[in-house]
Amino acid sequence: MTSEDIQKQLDILEEKRNALASLNERKVSESNALLKSLQSSSARLKSTSEVDTANVQKLKRNSSRA
């Protein structure tokens, strides 16, 4: 194997490394976006649940008065 062959192999490996690094960055970005979306959905569900619980308590109080 000549030094030129070795350099070609090194260049190919460098291209592959760069492609993998780019893919990894995209996947991390996608994962972060999904995490934020899930956190937002979770917060909305928690808020809705708290409102539902408060409404149930009001209904119970109102029905006990009737």
Distances (CA, A) of 45 to 2, 56, 57, 58: 64, 16, 18, 20
What is the mean pLDDT for each group of 10 consecutive residues in the chain (66 residues)? 97 99 99 98 95 91 85
CA dihedral angle for residue 28, residue 34, residue 37, residue 39, rounded to 10 degrees: -80
* Amino acid 11: pLDDT: 98
2 backbone dihedrals φ, ψ, rounded to 5°: -85, 170
User: Letter for the amino acid at 1?
Assistant: M
* Amino acid 65: pLDDT: 81
* Amino acid 66: pLDDT: 67
